[in-house]
C-alpha cells in the first residue's frame, strides 16, 4: 500500500544541482536557485514593494521543494525596514524531504550564500515530522508564519482557507509533472486569490497561460532568468468579494471567559498577534476546573481511515508538542514529561485494527509504531495484556502549569481576573459586555471568546449548544503502591508515570452526573481498568483507601471540539444556517482531549478572528464549526 506522504529522495545532477529521480528534473536552475527566486518569484510579484506598509501579506507557493524560495523571501523581508508587520508563507509539497536530506542539500549552497545559512538552520530546527496535513512554523517572534501543506496539491489546494496576495507557481516542469500545472490547479489558485493578487512563474506553457486566463488572470511575458528566455507574471482581475478571510479587525481587544487550557491558550494566541486580552475566571486561579488535574494524557488517536478525529488529534498533538517545547525554551513554568505513550488494545480484534492502522498509514516511526504484546511488556518492564500503539513523543502534561505558562507568555497583553463569575453577556452597539449578578459591567470589548467548559450553555447565546457535562474521577496512587512505570499507558483508562511522587490513574465517565464528591466505586473502576491494562499491577490497593479528584469535561455529541463563530439563532430562517453573532466566538467541547487540542484550536480561533490563513483545511474547519449541529 502506498504511503500517504512519500518523501523525496535527494540526488544531484552531474553539475551538482539538486535533482529528483522521481520526476527526472532539477529543483532549481543550475545557474543559481537563490538568484532565480529573486528574479522570478520576488521581482515577478513586485516584491518587496507590494508588502511594504501592510499589516500582513500572504504568499502561496505550489512546490516547497528545498525551501529556497522561502529562504530567499525570508531574507528579503527581514532586511526590509518597511516590510509588512506579519508575513504568511504557505507552501504545498507532495514529497517533502526528510530533515537529514534537507540539511545536506542546504549545506551544498549556504557556503556560497552565507546570508541564508542562519535562516536555513532555524528552518531545520523547526522542520516538522513528515505527516499529512498542515504544519505551522512560527519564526521571527511570531511575525513570520510558515505553513507547510504536506499532500497532493490537487486535493489540498481545494481545502486551504486563505486569501493570497501573491503566488509562486513552482515545481517540476509541466512536461515532467503535468498534474501541478493543470486547469484544476489554476481554478484552485483563483479561488484562493485576494483581489489584485499577483502570480509569477518561470513556465510560459501555452496550456498554463490558457488555464490561468480562463480563471481571470491577466498575463504578461517578461524576460526570464539565465537560460530561460521568458517567464510569466499575472494579476487577478476579478473584483468579486473573497469569501475568506473576514477583514482584519480595526481594534484588537477581546474578552476570554474561562482560564483553563482552552481559554488561556486562546488568550496567548491572540496576544501573540497583538491583541489585548482580558481573561475572566470564576475560580481563584487559572486551571482549576476540568484543567485542574495533576497530570493529563498527551497522545493522538489514529484510525485506519484517517478520519476527522485522527487528523485533528494528529495535528493537535504535534502543535501541542511544539508549543510545549517553545514555552520550555522561553523559561516559562510549564511542567510536562515526554515519557512516550503506549495505547494498549482492549481485545484481540482491537489489537489487529491497531496493527492495520500502522501498516496502512505508514507514518514516521518517531510518531507511531505498533508493538506486539512481548514488545510492549519489554518496553514497560511489566506484563501487559495486549500490544498496542506506541507514540515515542507522547507523555503527560500538568494542565494548571500550562495555563500559567500561557498567561505569562505575553504578560503585557493579557490581564487575568480571578474570582470573577459572569452572570450574563450582552452586545451593546459594537461591544460585548460581561456582567456580574447585579448587572454591573465587568469587562467590555469588541470580541468575546467563550471558553468556560461545561458552564457555557447557561448563557443565552449558548443555550442551544449540544454540549454535555461528563464527570471524571481520577485516582492518586502513591509510589510504593505499584511497580515502577516510566511510560504513560492508556487504553480503557490510563496511568501516568510518577508526578511529584504520585501516579494519576483514570478516569471514570458519568454523563450529566454533576456530583462533586469522590466515590469509592469509581476508584474501584479505575483500579479495574488499570489491572486490565497491566495484569495485577495494582492488586494490593484497596479503593476505599484512595483519594483523587473529580472534574467535569465538556463533551460534544460527535466528540470533536466546537470552535469558531457563534451562530445567532434569533435570525434563523427555515432551511438556512443562521449568520454569526458579530464578534462572538467559542472554544468549547474539548472533552478529555484538552491538552491535545488546546494549541491547535487556539491558533485556529486566533487566525479566524485576525483574518489570517487558517491552520486547518476546509473540511476540518467545517467539522468543528459550532453551526454544524444546526
The answer to whether 210 and 234 are in contact (CB under 8 A) is no
- Res 529: pLDDT: 95
Going by C-alpha positions, the residue among 515, 517, 513, 481 that lies closest to residue 505 is 481
Q: Which three cell numbers stand for residue 100?
A: 537529514
pLDDT at position 30: 66
C-alpha–C-alpha distance, residues 177 and 174, integer Å: 5
State yes or no: pLDDT of 1 exceeds 60.
Answer: no
DSSP 257-291: E--SHHHHHHHHHHHHTT-EEEEE-SSSSSS-STT
* Domain match, 19 and 142 both: yes
| Model confidence at 2: pLDDT above 50 | no
Contact 592, 453 (CB under 8 A): no
Residue 194 lies in a domain: yes
* Integer angstrom CA distances of residue 537 from 332, 531, 586, 599: 35, 6, 41, 34
In this prediction, residue 245 carries a pLDDT of 67
- CATH number, domain of 345, equals 3.30.9.10
Nearest Cα to Cα of residue 65 among 144, 141, 123: 123
The DSSP secondary structure of 502-519, one letter per residue, reads EEEEE---EET----S--
List all residues 6 or more positions away from 472 whose beta carbon is below 8 Å from its beta carbon. Answer: 290, 506, 507, 508, 509, 510, 550, 551, 552, 553, 592
Dig out the grid coordinates for 249 from the structure. Answer: 479587525
Mean pLDDT to the nearest integer, 248-272: 95
- State the CATH number of the domain containing residue 418: 3.50.50.60
User: Following DSSP, what letter does each residue of 394-461 receive, concatenated?
Assistant: -EEE-HHHHHHHHHHSSTTTEEEE-S----EEEEETTEEEEE-TTS-EEEEESEEEE--GGGGGGSGG
* 122 shares a domain with 66: yes
Asked if residue 444 and residue 490 are part of one domain, the reply reads no
Largest CA distance in the chain: 83
Helix (H) or strand (E) holding 311: helix 308-329
Q: What is residue 14's predicted lDDT score, i.e. its pLDDT?
A: 80
Domain at 159, CATH number: 3.40.50.150
* In-domain check, residue 246: no
In a domain, 200, yes or no: yes
The helix, strand and coil proportions of the chain, stated in percent and rounded to the nearest 5, come to 35, 25, 40
**Does position 3 have pLDDT exceeding 70, yes or no?**
no
The pLDDT of 283-310, averaged and rounded, is 95
Percentage of residues in the chain having pLDDT higher than 70: 97
Cα 599 from Cα 324, distance rounded (Å)? 9
The answer to whether residues 38 and 118 belong to one domain is yes
**pLDDT digits over 99-142, tens only?**
999 999 898 777 778 889 999 999 999 999 999 999 999 999 99
**Span 56-106, pLDDT tens digits:** 999 999 999 999 999 999 999 999 999 999 999 999 999 999 999 999 989
**Cα–Cα distance, 312 to 275 (Å, whole number):** 26
Residue where a domain stops, chosen among 553, 579, 600:
553
**pTM of the predicted structure, to 2 decimals:** 0.96
- Closest Cα to residue 628, out of 568, 594, 577? 577
Pick the last residue of a domain from 553, 582, 610: 553
User: What is the Cα–Cα distance from 463 to 63, expressed in whole angstroms?
Assistant: 46
The pLDDT of residue 241 is 74
Residues 469-496: tens digit of each pLDDT = 999 999 999 999 999 999 999 998 999 9
Q: Where a domain ends, among 528, 553, 578?
A: 553
Across residues 166-184, what is the average pLDDT?
91
State the Cα–Cα distance between residues 174 and 408, nearest whole angstrom.
50
21 and 168 co-located in one domain:
yes
Classify residue 320: in a domain, yes or no.
Answer: no
Q: With bands split at pLDDT 50, 70 and 90, how would you rate the model's confidence at 573?
A: low
C-alpha neighbours within 13 Å on the C-beta side of residue 161 = 18
* 220 and 352 assigned to the same domain: no
Say if residue 47 is in the same domain as residue 107: yes
Mean pLDDT of 421-426: 96
Whether residue 45 is contained in a domain is answered as yes
Query: Which domain does 542 fall in, by range?
Result: 338-393+468-553
Q: What is the pLDDT of residue 457?
A: 95
Residue 176 vs residue 53, higher pLDDT: 53
pLDDT-derived band of residue 51, with 50, 70 and 90 as boundaries? very high
Residue at 298 is within a domain: no
Residue 482 cell numbers, joined? 505499584
Q: Concatenated DSSP letters for 87-106?
A: EEEEEEESSPPPHHHHHHHH
Mean pLDDT of the residues in the chain:
93
Quick check: 241 and 220 in contact, CB under 8 A? no
Provide the grid cell at 11: 540526488
Residue with cell 498554463: 208
Distances (CA, A) of 528 to 343, 466, 506, 539: 17, 31, 10, 9
Residue 250 pLDDT: 84
Specify if 223 maps to a domain: yes
Identify the CA nearest to 484 among candidates 608, 348, 366, 380: 380
Q: Enter the DSSP assignment of 181.
A: G
CA distance linking residue 626 with residue 465, whole number of Å: 8
The reply to whether 385 and 423 lie within a common domain is no
Q: Do 218 and 139 lie in a common domain?
A: yes
Residues near 305 by Cβ (< 8 Å), separated by ≥ 6?
none
Pair 123, 208 in one domain: yes
CB 185 within 8 A of CB 160: no
Rg, Å, the chain Cα set: 26
Same domain, residue pair 223 and 350: no
Tell me what the mean pLDDT of segment 518-525 comes to.
Answer: 96
DSSP string, 348-399: HHHHHHHHHHHHHH---TTT-EEE-HHHHHHHHTS--SS-EEEETT-EEE-H
Domain assignment present for 241: no
244-248, 288-292, 604-608: which has the minimum mean pLDDT?
Answer: 244-248
Phi, psi of 86 (to 5 degrees): -130, 135
Number of structural domains in the chain? 3
Residues 549 and 426 in one domain: no
Amino acid at each position: 500500500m502506498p504511503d500517504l506522504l512519500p518523501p523525496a529522495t535527494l540526488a544531484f545532477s552531474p553539475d551538482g544541482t539538486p535533482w529528483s529521480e522521481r520526476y527526472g528534473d532539477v529543483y532549481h536552475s543550475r545557474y543559481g536557485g537563490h538568484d532565480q527566486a529573486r528574479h522570478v518569484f520576488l521581482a515577478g510579484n513586485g516584491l518587496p514593494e507590494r508588502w511594504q506598509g501592510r499589516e500582513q501579506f500572504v504568499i502561496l507557493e505550489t512546490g516547497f521543494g528545498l525551501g529556497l524560495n522561502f529562504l530567499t523571501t525570508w531574507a528579503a523581508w527581514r532586511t526590509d525596514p518597511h516590510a509588512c508587520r506579519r508575513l504568511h508563507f504557505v507552501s504545498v509539497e507532495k514529497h517533502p524531504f526528510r530533515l537529514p536530506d534537507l540539511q545536506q542539500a542546504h549545506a551544498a549552497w549556504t557556503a556560497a550564500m552565507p546570508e541564508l545559512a542562519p535562516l536555513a538552520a532555524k528552518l531545520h530546527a523547526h522542520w516538522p515530522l513528515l505527516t499529512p496535513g498542515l504544519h505551522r512554523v512560527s519564526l521571527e517572534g511570531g511575525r513570520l508564519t510558515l505553513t507547510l501543506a504536506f499532500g497532493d496539491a490537487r486535493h489540498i489546494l481545494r481545502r486551504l482557507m486563505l486569501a493570497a496576495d501573491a503566488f509562486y507557481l513552482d515545481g517540476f516542469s509541466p512536461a515532467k509533472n503535468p498534474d501541478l500545472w493543470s486547469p484544476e490547479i489554476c481554478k484552485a489558485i483563483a479561488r484562493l486569490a485576494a483581489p489584485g493578487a499577483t502570480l509569477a512563474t518561470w513556465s510560459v506553457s501555452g496550456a498554463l497561460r490558457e488555464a490561468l486566463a480562463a480563471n481571470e488572470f491577466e498575463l504578461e511575458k517578461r524576460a526570464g532568468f539565465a537560460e530561460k528566455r521568458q517567464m510569466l507574471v499575472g494579476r487577478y482581475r476579478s473584483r468579486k468579494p473573497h469569501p475568506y478571510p473576514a477583514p482584519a479587525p480595526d481594534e484588537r481587544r477581546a474578552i476570554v471567559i474561562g482560564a483553563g487550557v482552552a481559554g488561556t491558550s486562546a488568550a496567548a494566541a491572540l496576544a501573540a498577534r497583538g491583541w489585548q486580552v482580558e481573561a475572566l475566571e470564576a475560580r481563584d486561579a487559572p486551571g482549576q476546573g476540568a484543567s485542574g488535574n495533576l497530570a493529563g494524557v498527551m497522545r493522538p488517536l489514529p484510525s485506519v481511515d484517517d478520519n476527522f478525529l485522527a487528523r485533528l488529534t494528529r495535528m493537535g498533538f504535534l502543535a501541542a508538542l511544539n508549543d510545549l517545547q517553545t514555552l520550555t525554551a522561553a523559561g516559562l513554568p510549564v511542567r510536562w514529561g515526554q515519557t512516550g505513550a503506549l495505547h494498549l488494545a482492549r481485545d484481540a480484534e482491537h489489537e489487529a485494527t491497531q496493527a492495520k492502522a500502522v501498516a496502512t498509514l505508514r507514518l514516521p516511526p518517531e510518531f507511531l509504531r505498533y508493538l506486539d504484546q512481548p514488545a510492549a511488556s519489554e518496553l514497560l518492564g511489566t506484563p501487559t495484556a495486549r500490544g498496542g500503539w506506541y507514540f515515542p513523543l507522547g507523555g503527560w502534561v500538568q494542565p494548571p502549569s500550562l495555563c500559567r505558562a500561557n498567561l505569562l507568555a505575553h504578560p503585557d497583553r493579557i490581564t487575568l481576573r480571578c474570582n470573577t463569575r459572569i452572570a450574563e453577556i450582552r452586545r451593546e452597539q459594537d461591544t460585548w459586555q460581561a456582567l456580574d449578578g447585579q448587572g454591573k459591567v465587568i469587562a467590555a470589548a469588541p470580541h468575546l471568546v467563550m471558553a468556560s467548559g461545561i458552564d457555557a450553555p447557561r448563557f443565552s447565546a449558548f443555550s442551544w449548544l449540544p454540549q454535555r457535562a461528563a464527570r471524571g474521577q481520577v485516582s492518586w496512587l502513591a509510589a510504593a503502591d505499584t511497580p515502577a512505570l516510566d511510560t504513560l499507558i492508556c487504553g480503557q483508562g490510563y496511568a501516568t508515570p510518577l508526578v511529584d511522587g504520585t501516579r494519576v490513574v483514570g478516569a471514570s465517565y458519568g454523563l450529566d452526573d454533576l456530583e462533586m464528591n469522590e466515590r469509592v466505586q469509581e476508584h474501584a473502576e479505575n483500579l479495574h481498568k488499570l489491572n486490565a491494562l497491566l495484569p495485577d499491577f495494582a492488586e494490593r490497593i484497596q479503593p476505599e483507601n484512595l483519594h483523587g479528584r473529580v472534574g467535569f469535561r465538556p463533551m460534544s455529541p460527535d466528540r470533536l471540539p466546537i470552535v469558531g463563530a457563534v451562530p445567532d439563532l434569533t435570525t434563523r430562517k427555515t432551511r438556512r444556517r443562521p449568520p454569526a453573532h458579530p464578534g462572538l466566538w467559542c472554544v468549547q467541547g474539548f472533552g478529555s482531549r484538552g491538552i491535545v487540542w488546546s494549541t491547535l484550536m487556539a491558533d485556529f480561533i486566533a487566525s479566524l478572528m485576525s483574518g489570517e490563513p487558517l491552520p486547518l483545511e476546509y473540511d476540518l474547519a467545517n467539522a468543528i464549526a459550532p453551526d454544524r449541529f444546526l
